């Protein structure tokens, strides 16, 4: 069984790939260009070149699960948000369905349920996540949607919360997101579930039941 990681070269993607490699998981990291390959090859991680704005069909060959943790990034405009966070995610869902993959894990965002409640500059991104999540819910593939809060570079504690009343705020470290993805990628029984994710005081296994 092989897991395709879309957005593997991002901050969360790299941390997840490192954790998954240590755990013996079979991975394929989808990256945009060959300059990004050395980091993965040094760790024995298979890579495939694929651009969410171009052809990505070959990336799905031989995989049974996909994790979508790609993002257009904070320094791009609404055009990239549209093409990567929305259309790129939709294309991946369609290919996963077409290829008969067993499960799709989507990294979304805490405020995606209500884009208008987000700060003005984040609303296009939240709207893209809102639409991509809705598309995944309606697709013919089992799925998990993970909705992290405001991302930080704090060290991973592996202690999280899935509700604001049990959280330490609206933040979550990228490391904790990566550990949550590792758990979800291995917990194959979890299907058609959605989880908010914040830094908290519960173990990941207890929080993501």
Query: Where in the sequence numbering do the catalytic residues fall?
Result: 125
Q: What distance in Å separates the CA atoms of residue 42 and residue 28, rounded to the nearest whole number?
A: 14
Angle between helices 89-98 and 123-138 (to 10 degrees): 10
Contact 198, 162 (CB under 8 A): yes
Instruction: Look at the block and give the residue holding tokens 């799905």.
Output: 60
**R_g of the chain, CA atoms, integer Å:** 16
Q: Which residues contact 81 (CB under 8 A, 6 or more apart)?
A: 72, 124, 125, 128
Contact 47, 90 (CB under 8 A): no
């Amino acid at each position: 069984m092989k897991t395709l990681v879309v957005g593997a070269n991002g901050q969360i993607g790299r941390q997840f790939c490192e954790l998954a490699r240590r755990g013996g998981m079979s991975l394929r990291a989808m990256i945009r260009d060959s300059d990004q390959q050395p980091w993965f090859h040094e760790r024995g991680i298979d890579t495939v070149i694929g651009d969410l704005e171009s052809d990505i069909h070959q990336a799905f060959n031989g995989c049974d699960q996909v994790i979508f943790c790609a993002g257009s990034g904070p320094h791009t405009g609404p055009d990239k948000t549209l093409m990567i966070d929305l259309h790129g995610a939709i294309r991946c869902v369609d290919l996963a369905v077409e290829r008969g993959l067993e499960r799709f894990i989507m990294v979304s965002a805490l405020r995606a349920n209500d884009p208008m409640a987000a700060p003005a500059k984040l609303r296009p991104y939240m709207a893209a996540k809102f639409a991509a999540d809705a598309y995944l819910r309606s697709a013919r593939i089992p799925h998990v949607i993970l909705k992290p809060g405001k991302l930080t570079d704090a060290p991973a504690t592996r202690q999280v919360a899935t509700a604001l009343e049990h959280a330490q705020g609206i933040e979550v470290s990228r490391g904790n997101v990566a550990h949550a993805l590792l758990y979800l990628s291995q917990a194959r029984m979890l299907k058609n579930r959605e989880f908010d994710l914040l830094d908290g005081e519960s173990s990941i296994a207890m929080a993501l039941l």
